[in-house]
A and B are shown apart, each in its own frame.
Chain A
Amino acid sequence: MSDIPLAEEQLLRSRQLVSPGVWAGFLATLRRDTIIAFRHRGEMMNPLVFFLMVITMVPLGISPERIILATLAPGMIWVVALLATLLSLDSLFRSDFEDGTLEQLLMSPQPLYFQVLAKVAVHWLVTGLPLTLMAPLLGVMLSLPAAGFVPLCYTLLLGTASLSLIGAIGAALTVALRKGGLLLSLVIMPLYVPVLIFGASAVNNGIEGFPIGGQLAVLGAFLAMAIVLAPMAAAGALRIGING
């Protein structure tokens, strides 16, 4: 660096001959989106409140019997976590689309893949991770058997990340539509089936005293595949949504 004079380096930067690296671009978006998320704390709370409210409806609608609730708990918590993620996904690209930030991202020399990955990472940090942390509390409310708590947290930790990644494809496909919210759910929900099956069955296995390593490995494999493929599909969908 020192052998290039400062003025010359600035000139090169201004002509974008020296553009910031991929990692720097990734971190910049990560930082920006985290700041924006924390400035809208109310919005951040919404999926969590939704999670809590729907879980409260379960004993009211079905039965407050401990035995019945305990059999329902793993699946119910998983389904509601899935719905809470879906509801929060609509805003993933929405505000950036409306104020033109997304167009700037598309025009920037940064690969869109890593930009999308950064956005999804922030989405998971502000929804998936809090949902996971809140799940044990809801487990207590639904009298989840003690052996189910650790599997529940592990599977939600791995699973919600996949949910955010897969959901990003739907969010990108519907971002250009004025009323994309419901459509997003319709389009994405069938794709969530495998994650739900393995997540909920791991918790059930844990309660019955069986090992859950297999399910966790499969969930991990889903996550690995989603990290590789989902941002790519979402980036393609964003290009289509914006360029028409």
Chain B
Amino acid sequence: MAWQWFHRLGSPRWFYEKTGPWMPWLAVLSAVLLISGAVWGLAFAPADMKQGNSYRIIYIHVPAAFLALAGYYIMAISGAIGLIWKMKLADMVMKSAAPIGAVLTFVALVTGAIWGKPTWGTWWVWDARITSMLILFFLYLGVIALQEAYQHQDTANKASAILALVGTVNIPIIYKSVDWWYTLHQPATIKFTSESTIHPSMLYPLLTMVIGFYCFYALVLLLRTRSEVLEREKKTRWVQDLARQG
């Protein structure tokens, strides 16, 4: 009984019909959280003692970086589910998650560079975290490129699922080795402000933004997966009925 929902997920149609009513709620929730978090963070949170107003990019940078990493695991886990249980829906989620994750990683990198200019005086620094993010971006690009290269959809899914899983094994190793590499090449001029000492008045808008980003991610992932469902099931009766209804 408890596992019924899991088996039902095997049906793209059930998923499509079930998630339909969620979409407006999710859209409103993420809009409210993102707008209130952004206004709170950009207008009302106090300016940083050392960095002034430039630190405020944290409200985009940190949530994007969180989701960039979480998104990889979402992609890899759904890839694994697709490989093990041959669930069509999991393949679709994996395919939809890859570009979103790549974009978020890119956003994290770009906002980091913009933040770096006023604080460190340079756009790019070979810092451990920046370098790991860049490699994460490459991993995403690899999965997308492999997905695009195959003509046959099913083969593309399985191949990129394997690549995503191999990447999952490697991500902790890459993170650790880049960390280790950075301690060898530590530049003397740059210091990160440690994040655990953030004041609550700055932390709460940040948390709002993080939750807002998660909701937004869920919304975009569902949107992409739903359109993927329609695309792949376009020859079935229910999709054609749906199209006729308008």
A residues neighboring B (CB under 8 Å): 169, 173-174, 176-177, 180, 183, 186-191, 193-194, 197-198, 201, 204, 222, 229, 233, 236-237, 240-241, 244
Contact = CB atoms under 8 A, between A and B. Distances in A.
B170 A191 contact: yes
Contacts of A194: 170, 173-174, 176-177
A182 B114 CA distance: 32
The listed residue with most B CB atoms (<10 A of its CB), out of A173, A176, A183, A198, is A173
Contact of A173 (B135, B152, B162, B176): B162
B174 A237 contact: no
B163 A240 contact: no
Best-buried of A186, A197, A198 by chain B (most CB within 10 Å) = A197
Contacts of A244: 152, 154-155
A125 B162 CA distance: 27
B230 to A, nearest CB: 24
A114 B155 CA distance: 24
Interface string B126-153: 0000000001001101100110011010
A189 B142 CA distance: 9
A244 B159 CA distance: 10
Given A176-B150, A180-B149, A222-B173, 13 more contacts: A169-B163, A169-B166, A187-B163, A190-B142, A190-B167, A191-B166, A191-B174, A194-B170, A197-B178, A201-B181, A229-B169, A233-B165, A236-B162
B135 A183 contact: no
The prevalent SS among residues of A at the interface is: helix
Contacts of B178: 193, 197
- Report the 9 A-B pairs with minimum CB-CB distance, sorted nearest first: A194-B177, A187-B142, A190-B138, A240-B158, A197-B181, A197-B177, A190-B135, A190-B139, A244-B155
B22 interface: no
Interface residues of B, number: 29
B49 interface: no
Nearest to A185: B142
B150 to A, nearest CB: 7
A186 B141 contact: yes
8 contacts: A169-B166, A173-B162, A188-B142, A190-B139, A190-B142, A197-B181, A201-B181, A241-B159
Given A173-B146, A177-B149, A197-B177, A191 B159 contact: no
Contact of A197 (B142, B170, B180): B180
Nearest to A187: B142
A169 B165 CA distance: 11
Contact of B142 (A186, A193, A222, A237): A186
A187 B135 CA distance: 11
B209 to A, nearest CB: 29
Nearest to A188: B142
Interface in B156-196: 158-159, 162-163, 165-167, 169-170, 173-174, 176-178, 180-181, 184
A244 B150 CA distance: 10
A168 to B, nearest CB: 11
Contacts of A169: 162-163, 166
Contacts of B145: 183, 186-187
Interface string B4-20: 00000000000000000
B162 A240 contact: yes
A188 B230 CA distance: 33
Nearest to B154: A244
Nearest to B180: A197
Contacts of A241: 155, 159
A237 B149 CA distance: 15
A234 to B, nearest CB: 9
A176 B155 contact: yes
Nearest to A177: B149
A163 to B, nearest CB: 13
A114 B72 CA distance: 31
Given A173-B163, A174-B149, A193 B135 contact: yes
B152 A237 contact: no
Nearest to A178: B149
B150 A177 contact: yes
A177 to B, nearest CB: 5
B157 to A, nearest CB: 9
* Residue among A188, A191, A236 facing the most chain B CB atoms (10 A cut-off): A191
A203 B145 CA distance: 34
Given A237-B159, A244-B152, A244-B154, A193 B177 contact: yes
